[in-house]
Amino acid sequence: MVSPWKTASVPGLQLGLGCGFWICRSYRFLFRAGAMGPHVVPRQLVWLSRWQAVCAWGASVQHRTWAGVSRIPSLLSSGGALSSSPLVCRSSSSTPPGAPEVVLTQQRYPVTRLPFSVVSSEDLAAFERILPGGVVTDPEVLEASNVDWLRTVRGCSKVLLRPRTSQEVARILRYCHEKNLAVNPQGGNTGMVGGSVPVFDEIILSTTLMNRVISFNSVSGTLVCQAGCVLEELSRYVEERGFVMPLDLGAKGSCHIGGNVATNAGGLRFLRYGSLHGTVLGLEVLADGTVLDCLTSLRKDNTGYDLKQLFIGSEGTLGVITAVSIQCPPKPRAVNVAFLGCPGFAEVLQTFSSGKELLGEILSAYEFMDAECMWLVTHHLRLASPVQESPFYVLVETSGSRAGHDSEKLSDFLEQALSSGLVTDGTVATDQTRLKALWALRERISEALSRDGYVYKYDLSLPTERLYDLVSDLRARLGSQAKHVVGYGHLGDGNLHLNVTSEAFSPSLLADLEPYVYEWTARQRGSVSAEHGLGFKKRGVLSYSKPPEALRLMQQLKALLDPKGILNPYKTLPAQA
Amino acid sequence: MVSPWKTASVPGLQLGLGCGFWICRSYRFLFRAGAMGPHVVPRQLVWLSRWQAVCAWGASVQHRTWAGVSRIPSLLSSGGALSSSPLVCRSSSSTPPGAPEVVLTQQRYPVTRLPFSVVSSEDLAAFERILPGGVVTDPEVLEASNVDWLRTVRGCSKVLLRPRTSQEVARILRYCHEKNLAVNPQGGNTGMVGGSVPVFDEIILSTTLMNRVISFNSVSGTLVCQAGCVLEELSRYVEERGFVMPLDLGAKGSCHIGGNVATNAGGLRFLRYGSLHGTVLGLEVLADGTVLDCLTSLRKDNTGYDLKQLFIGSEGTLGVITAVSIQCPPKPRAVNVAFLGCPGFAEVLQTFSSGKELLGEILSAYEFMDAECMWLVTHHLRLASPVQESPFYVLVETSGSRAGHDSEKLSDFLEQALSSGLVTDGTVATDQTRLKALWALRERISEALSRDGYVYKYDLSLPTERLYDLVSDLRARLGSQAKHVVGYGHLGDGNLHLNVTSEAFSPSLLADLEPYVYEWTARQRGSVSAEHGLGFKKRGVLSYSKPPEALRLMQQLKALLDPKGILNPYKTLPAQA
């Protein structure tokens, strides 16, 4: 059989990442033959393994850390969506130069402050005794912790606490519980739903200085660390020891592992390594000052109820995660990424089935994006598409222990996908630089969207076969009201990121979107928050995915674990009637 | 490099499984060369893939279903350990012919009946209205549900209910909650810790007739089924559709999926597919008659607290699981099993490290057993050891999508293990019959132990590097008091099954074992119940693995979800002071 794939070297191709991080000087493509030239048959994709040998995998990826990047003032000041949002105005002095100030959440949203105490000078003195030098009241410093990275919500906390130990956290919480002071736990502040910043004047309890690795077992791959360790730094740490973290996020450069666990972060390795409910082995959690030591490093432990599960995904509303024990899988020796063009969504799904069959245990990611997403990243970020224009694109990643075997499997998969017409064009990368370039096309969509105008963001779980119908439906429903209606996401996990942009915030457009999107999702028994959580902004929509009995039990659990409701108030659960 | 492996056909070898299920007529060995002959070099283990082609994988394995087998009266009557246990006496009429009766739990253990109501004729009439024809009061039928399969604990329930739907379960629980009647949920009754049978006269609520598959998505592999589906039948169902269940147990022929989830069963695929906390997608649970519909089929859902996690591993004490949604991985196309002899435990650990490195993503099980285990299965069950006598044996299973690749990886692993002296002898199987024969050596240890005398059973999680020290310690400590002190288990998961046998139950031997074993485990921060749970028999030892704060929270959760304490009383949590 003749393969329609060929390899071609394209020296000096500039991928133009828009922020000047790097230029790819030698990029190798696999083109589909046809108008572009004759067929070449690299049956075993032998060059894959040649490249593999000289390329380390998994080092830090600066341009993937959008959360970190987005908080660089010069990027924020470049205009676009942020300045056109009704959530921003220009009055404060504490924002970065040129960046418009974010409207206070309490002014923007219909939310009422609960009767918590207000921090007094006596309280500050008490905190100073617990944390000498760790109490921050400087408004300039506080500003970054009061505003979310998307710059959509803003609290007015007057104090930021930076403990270094679990014992300090315990003492702080015991004090706050006694004094009825509300507390907003904060990790890297990279959340998407306003869960990590105060709504009013809650005390911000930051894990920034709790960034110590406690232990690592190089036989079992069990990592135990404090909650404030940055994901990317942990990745580097375990990769030097032959393992990888079981999760990877665009925000890895800023997000804290404690925050990842508190929000049950999904991300890019979910397809391969599964949920944190499976990979987190232990937690050390504090509710009203009590240290609940569940920091086991055991893979199996059936002694009573698995309490740590309660806190995974509870967004800091049931306890504060101060340390994490997590199972790290062995580091794959070979990683390949294929970026493919598909003629329709049906072909995207069929290519996924074919990938599962032919790539088997080495399939580690299956992401998709539509043509409008590609337009956004090429237009706003000046990235270059490595494949011919297509209605849909998929990114397929393999991770395995043996390069030769992996390239054979990948070659067979690509050959079948192309010969059967599921895929019309594609390119494959195996070395770090090229892998990053392909991943950037998928990962920087969020950044491109924010440059397109005001963004209405939805993070949904849907049955894969219906996943794109909602995007098409909405495009027809909204017509010219919207600039773009785009769909992309972790198709392998049934997770759609649906985004709609408009020049500026429009109440009538919002009224056409909500509750329509939530009702559509509920009819499919989908989830109105697949991986982003509910935080402050989505807490009102929980009932689209959960029955009243479940909500009632959640409220009972909240009352049990945090009877005064001081932990991250106004988050996760809907406001009580 | 010359490989010290060779292949040899041994026609007519009888593995002698003791219960006459099958005889292996043509068994292929890999011997280590030396005294036995010259070196042969099957570098690619080509015969592996040849065998693969003709053998289906994963069909029902009758002799692995020890739970089912053990309940066949003719086997039970064969004497051995069971008749020598002080838990058995000969007085009742409702036991299988020849089998001694098990002493009532309330007579054997210091436990006091809680003030629940006693089932009245009025109650029976009410149940009959809810479940026409589904109310069993015949003592002969009840006997099997009152006694655990190990025949160590026995309740005296007078009524067994067999609902078919969640709604029926809801009505039963609502009634029992109102009338203060205690309920013992029961699946396949294959538990190891007396969690699945009544302690006194609790109503037995059986899931036996709730055995319907509700849906299966052949793209995503999501299975939704009622709680009473037998694991082996589900395995067969999904395997016919190209998937496998993410868990596999020796008890698969009898155990119910609802019971698996309620006890957070571990088993043989844990190393590959992880915990049920990661693979169970949804549950439909009932507490005091309320249907809590968490039966989602979504891989990702971050809308509020993940309530289903509470019920996974709670042993029916917080709610009754009536349906399960579970993620099934694709069925591997190739399965290989290597059975190897190791000269010491250090080599068992090093072989595991080597296997993780060279087998990578296809490593699906790594089990070990010591020489005394081999003696027990060869002596009591007349199985034949396929390798030369060694201090330790390991069973390595690979599961992958491509036979040729897998056999290459396995060949390299075996070559390295043998050439470096980690392994001194070994054999490999790829077809169903031979796979089963090798697995039987490991899986039937429990059965062999029960024929050796009275058995003291411990199921521990320990750091792998210290895992066998406890066995050696105990052997020295117990001396001639014990017939055998053996260690085996899921080494890949850090899970030791420690078993001690004696001619008959001995209080002094027990005093030398407990709390010594639990204290030893606690010092290593291990778990005193890795996968078997606590049930009735181990509920008193929870505090060796969990701090008082955790126990207190568990008790609060129990009080919240089951305020009258009617659900599986006397189980999981220690008796209140």
CATH number of the domain that A362 lies in? 3.30.70.2190
Could you tell me if A310 and A373 lie in one domain? no
pLDDT tens digits along A123-180: 999 999 999 999 999 999 999 999 998 888 999 999 999 999 999 999 999 999 999 9
B82 falls within a domain:
yes
A69 falls within a domain:
no
CA B90, CA B100: separation in Å to the nearest integer?
A: 5
B contacts of A557 (beta carbons < 8 Å): 305, 560
- Put simply, the answer to whether B549 touches A353 (Cβ < 8 Å) is no
Give yes or no for B54 touching A (CB within 8 A). no
**Residue in B74, B28, B43, B159 with CA at minimum distance from that of residue B431:** B28
B70 falls within a domain:
no
Placement of tokens 């960046």 in the chain: A99
> In this predicted structure, what is the pLDDT of residue B14?
25
Give yes or no for B275 touching A (CB within 8 A). yes
A364 falls within a domain:
yes
pLDDT surpasses 90 at B483? yes
Structure tokens, B128? 């009959």
CA B250, CA B192: separation in Å to the nearest integer?
A: 12
> In this predicted structure, what is the pLDDT of residue A503?
93
Could you tell me if B105 and B23 lie in one domain? no
> In this predicted structure, what is the pLDDT of residue B415?
97
What is the average pLDDT score of chain B? Answer: 84
Q: Could you tell me the CA-to-CA distances from B459 to B317, B518, B530 in Å, in that order?
A: 21, 10, 6
Q: Could you tell me the CA-to-CA distances from A366 to A36, A394, A442, B223, B506 in Å, in that order?
A: 27, 7, 11, 21, 59
B93, burial (CB in 10 Å: exposed 0-12, middle 13-18, buried 19+): exposed
B72 falls within a domain:
no
CA A384, CA A177: separation in Å to the nearest integer?
A: 54
CA A500, CA A486: separation in Å to the nearest integer?
A: 6
Placement of tokens 């945090």 in the chain: A562
- Domain hosting A338: range is 5-64+332-446
- Which residues lie closer than 8 Å to B184 by C-beta, 6 or more apart? B155, B157, B196, B197, B198, B202, B203, B204, B205, B316, B568
Could you tell me if B131 and B259 lie in one domain? yes
Could you tell me if B534 and B552 lie in one domain? no
pLDDT tens digits along A279-321: 999 888 887 889 998 888 888 999 999 999 999 999 999 999 9
CA A350, CA A356: separation in Å to the nearest integer?
A: 10
> In this predicted structure, what is the pLDDT of residue A84?
29
Q: Given pLDDT bands bounded at 50, 70 and 90, which one contains residue B106?
A: very high
> In this predicted structure, what is the pLDDT of residue A440?
95
CA B369, CA A362: separation in Å to the nearest integer?
A: 30
Structure tokens, B551? 């126990």
Give yes or no for A362 touching B (CB within 8 A). yes
pLDDT surpasses 50 at B12? no
CA B175, CA B181: separation in Å to the nearest integer?
A: 8
pLDDT tens digits along B408-441: 999 999 999 999 999 999 999 989 899 999 999 9
CATH number at residue B534: 3.30.70.2740
B contacts of A291 (beta carbons < 8 Å): 549
Of the three residues B426, B446, B466, the one that is the final residue of a domain is: B446
Q: Which residue has the higher pLDDT, B457 or B23?
A: B457
Could you tell me if A409 and A337 lie in one domain? yes
pLDDT tens digits along B236-262: 999 999 999 999 988 999 999 999 999
Of the three residues B446, B461, B483, the one that is the final residue of a domain is: B446
pLDDT surpasses 50 at B460? yes
CATH number at residue A153: 3.30.465.10
Q: Given pLDDT bands bounded at 50, 70 and 90, which one contains residue B285?
A: confident
Could you tell me if B36 and B128 lie in one domain? no
CB contact at 8 A, B281 and A509:
no
Give yes or no for A220 touching B (CB within 8 A). yes
**Residue in B41, B55, B68, B70 with CA at minimum distance from that of residue B435:** B55
Given A299, A534, A561, which is nearest B304 (Cβ)?
A: A534
CB contact at 8 A, B178 and B288:
no
CA A139, CA A263: separation in Å to the nearest integer?
A: 27
> Nearest-CA residue of chain B relative to A274?
B278
- Put simply, the answer to whether A547 touches B293 (Cβ < 8 Å) is yes
Could you tell me if B123 and B173 lie in one domain? yes
Can you list the positions of beta strands (E) in B5-153? 5-11, 26-32, 88-89, 101-102, 135-136
A28 falls within a domain:
yes
> In this predicted structure, what is the pLDDT of residue B88?
30
CB contact at 8 A, B413 and B319:
no
Give yes or no for B132 touching A (CB within 8 A). no
**Residue in B57, B223, B218, B368 with CA at minimum distance from that of residue A357:** B218
Could you tell me if B487 and B436 lie in one domain? no
Query: Which residues does chain A have with pLDDT short of 70?
Result: 1-100, 577
H and E: helices and strands count for chain A: 22, 20
Q: Which residue has the higher pLDDT, B21 or B132?
A: B132
Could you tell me if A287 and A317 lie in one domain? yes
CB contact at 8 A, B416 and A416:
no
Q: H or E element: which one contains A30?
A: strand A26-32
Q: Which residue has the higher pLDDT, B64 or A113?
A: A113
Could you tell me if A463 and A502 lie in one domain? yes
B57, burial (CB in 10 Å: exposed 0-12, middle 13-18, buried 19+): middle
Long-range contact set of residues A433-436: C-beta below 8 Å, sequence gap at least 24 = A433/A22, A433/A24, A434/A24, A434/A27, A434/A28, A434/A337, A435/A57, A435/A335, A435/A337, A436/A61, A436/A63, A436/A64
A73 falls within a domain:
no
Domain count along chain A = 3
CB contact at 8 A, A318 and A565:
no
For testing contact with chain B, the best of A305, A325, A349, A568 (most B CBs within 10 A): A305
B57 falls within a domain:
yes
> In this predicted structure, what is the pLDDT of residue A269?
87
- Put simply, the answer to whether A402 touches B405 (Cβ < 8 Å) is yes
Q: H or E element: which one contains B342?
A: strand B334-342
> Nearest-CA residue of chain B relative to A220?
B464
Lowest-pLDDT choice from A123-137, A293-307, B17-31, B136-150: B17-31
A contacts of B544 (beta carbons < 8 Å): 303
| Omega of the bond leading into B515 within 30 degrees of 0 (cis) | yes
Q: C-alpha B151: how far from its chain's center?
A: 16
pLDDT surpasses 80 at B71? no
Phi, psi angles (nearest 5°) of residue B152 = -120, -20
> Nearest-CA residue of chain A relative to B317?
A305
CB contact at 8 A, B568 and B184:
yes
pLDDT tens digits along B215-229: 999 888 999 999 999
Could you tell me if A317 and A241 lie in one domain? yes
DSSP A80: T
Given B275, B361, B493, which is nearest A361 (Cβ)?
A: B361
User: Around Cβ B81, how many Cβ atoms within 10 Å?
Assistant: 22
- Put simply, the answer to whether A302 touches B278 (Cβ < 8 Å) is no
- Put simply, the answer to whether B304 touches A217 (Cβ < 8 Å) is no
User: Around Cβ A508, how many Cβ atoms within 10 Å?
Assistant: 9
**A 382-401 residues with CB < 8 A to B:** 399-401
CB contact at 8 A, B324 and B258:
yes
Of the three residues B391, B411, B446, the one that is the final residue of a domain is: B446
> In this predicted structure, what is the pLDDT of residue B368?
98
CB contact at 8 A, A306 and B313:
yes
Given A309, A362, A465, which is nearest B309 (Cβ)?
A: A309
Could you tell me if A433 and A493 lie in one domain? no
B282 strand-pairing partners: B325
Pairing of strands A203-206, A183-186: parallel
pLDDT tens digits along B191-212: 999 999 999 999 999 999 999 9
Residue A556, helix vs strand vs coil: helix
Mark B453-466 as b/e (b = at least 16 C-beta within 10 Å).
bbbbbbbbbbbbee
- Put simply, the answer to whether B290 touches A463 (Cβ < 8 Å) is no
